Amino acid sequence: FYTFQIIGFCIDTILRNQPMPSFVDYMNFGSFFPAIVAGPIERRDGLLPQVQRMDLPLSSEDWQLGIPYVILGLFFKLVMADNIAVAFWSDYAGNNAWVVWLNNLLFTFRIYFDFAGYGLTAYGIARCLGITLRMNFISPYTAGNITEFWRRWHTSLTLWFRDYIYFSLGGSRTKRWALNILIVFTISGIWHGAGWKFIAWGCFHGCLTIGGTLFGDKIAKLTTWLRINTKAKSWELFQMTRTFLLCCFGRIFFRASSLSE
């Protein structure tokens, strides 16, 4: 998180010919402690101006806004994520398919409550200090498709890869746009961990995103027809369930100790 935040700062400063802040403001921007453990990865335009005008003493209004987020974040982490972790079987021994997929379902919820819990806690602590960070998770498991999921899951990382890697490769303006998407998700997999299982996870989500882009128009037409001829809520629930199950399937690459397993 240090590295990505500072890389983003350097790129924005050099390419946009922005003035250098004071050394103290730069250090506060690069090492803003609530966000270092698990994000969000803040940008120069978003965090630096707030750091520059940050002042003490802290106001009671900031505390009233921040403390509920800290409480919610601790609830996500300590009550939900940690208790779900206790329910895990130790491994995938026995090759019991029910155990494997139940473990995977539990892990899908655990990783959300764990990661989002850290993010909410960071957001709340920052608000107590008078700083507004990016909301890193926006109900990702209610997304209707994979592209929307990635707009809601770890939003700051998604935007970082989009702006500094995907756009630099040419984005969707080149004939090799599908390869660009695959490269970005492969790099995202490597960022999450060094191992083939993470690369496989990245390629899996890259292929889902490419498929959604290729068949987006047909899916949109089908969606319009189904909304007209079926109950809209039922179709939305189907989309959410489909996307959630695809994400759940991808989690097995994280949960397993190796690609062969």
Residue 205 falls in the annotated catalytic set: no
Query: Which pLDDT score, from 0 to 100, does residue 220 have?
Result: 61
Looking at residue 25, its pLDDT comes to 92
DSSP letters of 190-226? HHH-SSHHHHHHHHHHHHHHHHHHHTHHHHHHHHHHH
| Low-confidence residues in the chain, pLDDT < 70 | 88-95, 216-233
pLDDT the model gives residue 205: 94
Question: Which pLDDT value is given to residue 231?
Answer: 62
In DSSP notation, 68-113 reads HHHHHHHIIIIIIIHHHHHTS-SS-TT--HHHHHHHHHHHHHHHHH
Give the distance from CA 172 to its chain's centroid: 21
**Closest by CA position to 133, among listed 57, 63, 58, 66:** 66
The pLDDT value given to residue 92: 55
Task: Give, as one character, the DSSP assignment of residue 58.
Answer: P
Q: Which residues contact 93 (CB under 8 A, 6 or more apart)?
A: none
Catalytic residue among 192, 195, 219, 244: 192
